[in-house]
């Protein structure tokens, strides 16, 4: 089934107000006319959402948040609701990122946030992935299956999955094309045929073409390589035009 690749840059805790011009900078490097076959998404820190939304103009770059709370409002100091993020300009939201799961976020937490995101008309990008210990113990598929089952509401249809092999992020270890193909095929068997499955394990310009050409890889969730627009554009250029 043909679907547009999604190239998503997670800025994590990087950036300042000068970065509000980055969507326009990206568009200069890779104009919309040259990337109609794919979607490009930037997920900045929440404080930068509104400035980026104001400055992106006609760049056709989507914006997303990095998490949201499961409540609409209330006494939740330091938190942001999905409605607030949508109002600030977000169209997507990353949920269950490995860094947040490592900090104690559970599948039930992710599921509740997904439900809140959908109510706010945000498209959730739900992250799953196993640790090195779990992979070496032969538990990779079981871990991912449990995360999918626990994090996805039963009636959810419009969403994105991002597979993050935690053991291949900033560790010096690399997932092979076979590792990626196998896990993405497993995830595909558990989700809708129209669901985009992103790969999120240290994607860079040097490996993007091989990764994005892999069966059932429908895009990438990018960390450090998505902070500079030249690097992000090189990865976007590697996305296949037809799948």
Question: Is 161 in contact with 191 (CB distance < 8 Å)?
Answer: yes
Q: Give SS3 for 102.
A: helix
CA quadruple 14, 76, 68, 62: dihedral positive or negative? negative
Question: Is 224 in contact with 189 (CB distance < 8 Å)?
Answer: no
Q: Is-catalytic flag, 184?
A: no
Q: Give SS3 for 187.
A: helix
- Cα 77 from Cα 93, distance rounded (Å): 20
Q: Is-catalytic flag, 37?
A: no
- Catalytic residue (one of 105, 130, 164, 234): 164
- Cα 57 from Cα 114, distance rounded (Å): 28
- Cα 109 from Cα 37, distance rounded (Å): 34
- Catalytic residue (one of 69, 97, 105, 184): 97
Q: What's the DSSP call for residue 112?
A: H
- Cα 17 from Cα 163, distance rounded (Å): 30
Tell me how many degrees the CA angle 173-175-177 measures, rounded to the nearest 5.
150
For the chain, give the longest Cα–Cα distance.
Answer: 49
| Residues acting as catalytic residues | 97, 164
């Amino acid at each position: 089934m043909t679907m547009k690749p999604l190239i998503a840059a997670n800025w994590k805790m990087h950036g300042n107000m000068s970065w509000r011009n980055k969507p326009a900078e990206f568009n200069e490097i890779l104009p919309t006319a040259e990337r109609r076959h794919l979607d490009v998404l930037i997920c900045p820190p929440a404080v930068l959402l509104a400035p980026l939304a104001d400055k992106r103009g006609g760049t056709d770059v989507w914006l997303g948040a990095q998490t949201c709370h499961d409540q609409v409002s209330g006494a939740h100091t330091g938190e942001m609701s999905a409605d607030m993020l949508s109002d600030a300009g977000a169209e997507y939201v990353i949920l269950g990122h490995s860094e947040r799961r490592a900090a104690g976020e559970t599948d039930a937490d992710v599921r509740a946030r997904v439900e809140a995101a959908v109510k706010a008309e945000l498209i959730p990008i739900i992250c799953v992935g196993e640790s090195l210990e779990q992979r070496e113990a032969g538990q990779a598929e079981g871990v991912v299956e449990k995360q999918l089952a626990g994090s996805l509401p039963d009636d959810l249809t419009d969403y994105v999955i991002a597979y993050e092999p935690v053991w291949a992020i900033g560790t010096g270890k690399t997932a092979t094309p076979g590792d990626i193909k196998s896990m993405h095929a497993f995830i595909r068997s558990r989700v809708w045929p129209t669901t985009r499955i992103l790969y999120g394990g240290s994607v860079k310009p040097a490996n993007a073409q091989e990764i994005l050409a892999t069966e059932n890889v429908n895009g990438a969730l990018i960390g450090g390589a998505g902070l500079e627009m030249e690097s992000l554009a090189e990865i976007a250029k590697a996305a296949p035009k037809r799948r």
